[in-house]
Structure 1
Amino acid sequence: MRARTRDFVNSVYPEHDTVCILEQAARDFYIGVVGIGPGFESILELMARPGLEDFFPRLHLVACVASNICPEALNKLNALGVVRHETYQEMLQAHPGINLLIELTNQPDLLRELRRVVSPDIAILDHTSAVFLCGLLIMFEMSSKCKVDLLGQQSLLNAVMDEMNDDVFLLDAKGRVLDVNKHVCRRLGKEKKEILRKFCWEISSGTHHNHCRTDDPDCPLRTTLLQGRRAESLQTWVDPEGQAHYHQIRTYPIFNKQGEVQKVIEVRRDATLRTEMEKRLQQAEKLAAIGELSTYIAHEIRNPLFAIGGFANALLRAPELTVGAREKVRIILEESKRLDNILKSIINFARPTAAASAEVDVNTIILETVQLLGIGCKERGVAIDIQLAEDVAKVRGDAELLKQCLINLVKNALEAMPAGGSLTVSSGMESHHVRVTVKDTGVGIPSEVQDMIFNPFFTTKKTGGGSGLGLAMTKKIIGDLGGFLRLESQVGLGTTVTMLLPPYVLLQPAG
């Protein structure tokens, strides 16, 4: 009882060193009742209630002085093990441990006699004061009902919170964790007690990344504490494999009676899939706009370019040209051809990929690509490791287009290892998709540009080193075939690009 009393007092007066009188009640009360007047039924009800010690000192009704008692009250006395006596003298002699007498006879003379002859060590509660026992019984009943209602609401709230697939934290005004739902414990693989009292930024969503601190101006907890309103932000972290993850963090204030923010609820939701879908939609819209613009520009440029190339060819065959002029015309012709190749790339990028239905063996594509680029690997000091799964399924697509995609990925990997390194090209099955992976040990890609690496015309190469369409076209081709690309990269450790393609499914004709 004393521990629960202390917890209750501390919850009501958290900033006061309050000592409750019930905590100081070190002894039990052994009760003897004189008379069966008003209040006697309440005493019996109070003694029979379970859980009484949660609210009162330990009470034991051991004996009573009663005559002409009704059968119902007699049954209750017997159930409680209460002994009946004819006089209070007989009761006190038989039970010397009684330390509380309750007088219910409503006889002033008897009350005065009790106060005169009873030992000072025995407290006396007269029939007038005993009316409070009735009030205590009513309060106990109301408390029990409120407790049942509260436990029901608490169970419902816990069930709702624990079934959520989001991380839910209850924080104090300093950002310390007061409570979490089960999802947090399951995700971190820890007991709740290992998480409580830590600061929220110490509990990261990823292995090597902590969320923002309250001194971060973009921290939603800081905004909620300072402005007393709901706040949210999108946090990014990179896992040990170099994959970017996104978490949406929302904070909600809980106010005290003075209108001050006392606690904060923080909800963290893994928004990686949704963010990726939004980026893909934006990319698709961007590609559509670029495609229309590229087609128009290419058409308008190719007409005069065709004329330039034609006249340059004619001039090059003219016998009256000097050696210097002929060299200049040759440069014009070569540059016009280079520009024409760039326009062809733009047109090919803008043109939708034809939906091919041929069976393609990715292992064959890998072997042919490595054979084609093997000489370049040796010249750069790059060791090639080919890991082909024998049970890999075939894919539906165009073999030449897939080979071009793989060539683009391998060439980018080689360019990322100017001082040599290791290149691994592998195949396999993953999540009902055919997997083709190109892994290098090159310089890696900074996290701030990973989201842009597949954008058209974006390149990290020096001026003139590339058009920035290779990876964009690769992603477009794979997407048109129903697959997708996955990028994992860490600066200084290398990059892994994975093509995930739908397997070829043989459809039997109906009937």
Structure 2
Amino acid sequence: MAQEALNSWDFFRSVLDGIQDMIKILDRDYKIIYANRSAQEYLGKPLEELIGRHCYQEYHQSPLPPEHCVTMDTYQTGAPQNSAFTTLEPDGLERHWEIATFPLKDDEGNVKYIIEIVKDITERKILRYQLVEAERLASLGHLAAGIAHELRNPLVAIGSITQLLDEDTDENDPRKGDIQTLIREIKRLDKFIHEFLDFSAPKGPHPSLCDLADLIEDTLVLLDKQISSNKIKIIKKFPKNVPKLLLDKDQIKQVFLNIIVNAMEAMPDGGELGITVTAAPPGVYDQSTKDIKGKSLSSAKGVVIEFRDTGCGIPPDKLKKIFDPFFSYGKKGTGLGLSICHKIVQSHLGRIEVESRVNQGTRVNIWLPV
């Protein structure tokens, strides 16, 4: 019975359908004679509609094979080939792929069919980049943190002396305005150094059991005047079934504060900011391996906090740099705010993602584990 199963095409097809990589079998005319379930899902067509179609028509929407085609190389050389390529998906995001081709030969050694295996390596590329970037930033951080400390000490003295000078200067003195400008710039520089030190040497979280709705409300109270003066309408949705989480209250409030301030800056003429807290079902926003359609395969549970504004949005080329240190799309800020947010969320074993469309608005999703 076991041998009959192994000899059955249905058995092998079920095995291939269980593999997350896209697998296709092509004839010598580059026509698809088989595609597993992952390939069917990615292409959005059932097997019946793919059979007989040229692979380059389905994958590249082209009437001819691409100039550098590993499948063509395998037909010509009779040897396995592999390569990597990048595609721009309809959502504007880049995806990275690895392709390997293997020949199926007849009794005379001629290539009759090609097995083509395509693997999504986007997560691997991102993790590799993050590792290299983390090592680079760690080296720079140690050096720069020392410099920042050395700058901060004389800055405190300069600030104190300038404050005394301001107090001793008459309101009608023409130098009064210059002194107050100097005080503002000293405070701005001190804030930058403070943020930089937080980024280069972040403190670990000190968690306690927290109600997310309460943390958001506390943050909104701090920004109440700015929200009112900027004509921002806050729309809140906090259901009662959201579990409490172990969080560092101050750090998570800092994350919320940064995101809300960014949203207000994106709506200089007013607008709406929606804040929603939901208990995430199993698998949502988990950082584990994803299948070809981007669905998470984990059974972890968590909570999702969504911030959605109606602001100016962020162009795609800027969006992919949004968490880079010192990158600032707005006119204000040091460019460290979202980098610090990213680090804080990661230290809580969570995930933060940003989606944006120009002239439509931005959505920030934060996933935190229960």
- Give the structure-2-normalised TM-score: 0.76
Relative contact order, higher structure (CA 8 A, sep 6+): 2
Q: Is the 8 A contact 1:246 1:275 kept in 2?
A: no
Which runs of 5 or more residues in structure 1 are unaligned? Answer: 1-147, 205-209, 504-511
- What residue is the counterpart of 1:293 in the other structure? 143
The alpha carbon displacement at 1:157 in A equals 5.6
The runs of 5 or more residues in structure 2 that have no matched partner are 283-300
> In the superposition, relative to structure 1, how do residues 374 and 346 fare at CA in structure 2: closer, same or farther (>3 Å)?
same
Structure 1 segment 1-20 matched on structure 2, within 5 A: none
Give 3-state SS (helix, strand or coil) of 1:498's partner: strand
1:327 CA drift (Å): 4.7
Task: Give the alignment partner of residue 165 of structure 1, picking from 2, 20, 35.
Answer: 20
Aligned to 1:478: 345
Contact 1:440–1:494, Cα closer than 8 Å, also in 2: yes
Paired with 1:451 and 1:218, the residues of 2 have a C-alpha distance of 28
* RMSD over aligned Cα atoms: 3.9
Within the alignment, does 1:422 sit opposite 2:272 as a pair?
Answer: yes
Q: CA deviation at 1:306?
A: 3.3
1:179 to 34, 42, 65: 34
**Separation in structure 2 between the aligned mates of residue 212 and residue 283 of structure 1, nearest angstrom:** 37
CA pair 289-238 structure 1, distance change in 2 beyond 3 A = farther
1:230 is aligned to 2:97: no
> Is contact 1:221–1:231 with CA below 8 Å preserved after alignment?
no
Instruction: Assess if the C-alpha contact under 8 Å between 1:423 and 1:438 holds in 2.
Output: yes
- Residue pairs, 1:150-299, within 5 angstroms: 152=7, 158=13, 160-172=15-27, 175-185=30-40, 190-203=45-58, 230-238=81-89, 244=93, 246-252=95-101, 254=103, 263-299=113-149
Pair 1:346-2:192 in alignment? no
CA contact under 8 A between 2:23 and 2:36: conserved in structure 1?
Answer: yes
**Aligned mates of 1:292, 1:286 — CA distance in 2:** 10
Call closer, same or farther: CA 1:415–1:317 in 2, change over 3 Å.
Answer: closer
Distance in 1 between residues matched to 2:269 and 2:221, nearest whole Å: 21
Q: 1:288 to 1:217 in 2, by over 3 A?
A: farther
Q: Label 1:359 to 1:246 Cα distance change in 2 as closer, same or farther (>3 A).
A: same
Aligned amino acid, residue 354 of structure 1: G
Matching residue of 1:79: none
- Corresponding residue for residue 403 of structure 1: 253
Residue 368 of structure 1 corresponds to 218
Whole-angstrom CA distance in 1 between matches of 2:68 and 2:316: 19
Q: Distance in 2 between matches of 1:202 and 1:215?
A: 8
Match runs of 1:20-35 below 5 Å? none
- CA contact 1:454–1:471 (8 Å) conserved in 2: yes
Structure 2 equivalent of residue 450 of structure 1? 319
| Distance across 2 between alignment mates of 1:296 and 1:231 | 47
> 1:467 aligns to what?
334
Aligned in 2, Cα 1:467/1:391: closer, same or farther, shift over 3 Å?
same
Deviation at 1:471, TM superposition (A): 0.6
The residue aligned with 2:297 is none
Please give the secondary structure, in 1, of the residue aligned with 2:223.
helix
What SS does structure 2 have at the residue aligned with 1:265? strand
**Partner deviation per Cα, 1:282-334 (whole Å, 9 max, x = no partner):** 454344334323311201222332343345456556779x9455554444443
Q: Displacement, 1:353?
A: 2.6
Secondary structure at the counterpart of residue 139 of structure 2: helix
CA distance in 2, matches of 1:461, 1:412: 8
Distance 1:384 1:239, change over 3 A: farther
Tell me how far apart the structure 2 counterparts of residues 436 and 407 of structure 1 sit (CA, whole Å).
13
Deviations 1:121-166 (A, max 9, x none): xxxxxxxxxxxxxxxxxxxxxxxxxxx99x9496776565344221
Partner of 2:308: 439
CA distance change for structure 1 residues 196 and 339 in 2, over 3 Å: closer, same or farther?
Answer: same
Offset of residue 225 of structure 1: 7.0
8 Å CA contact 1:220–1:233 kept in 2: the answer is no
Structure 1 distance, partners of 2:169, 2:312, is: 52
Structure 1 CA distance for aligned equivalents of residues 233 and 62 of structure 2: 41
Name which one, 1 or 2, has greater alpha-carbon Rg. 1
Q: What is residue 140 of structure 1 aligned with on the other side?
A: none
- What's 1:305 paired with? 155
Change (3 A) 1:338 1:448: closer
Separation of aligned partners in 2, 1:394 and 1:428: 12
Give the TM-score taking structure 1 as reference length.
0.57
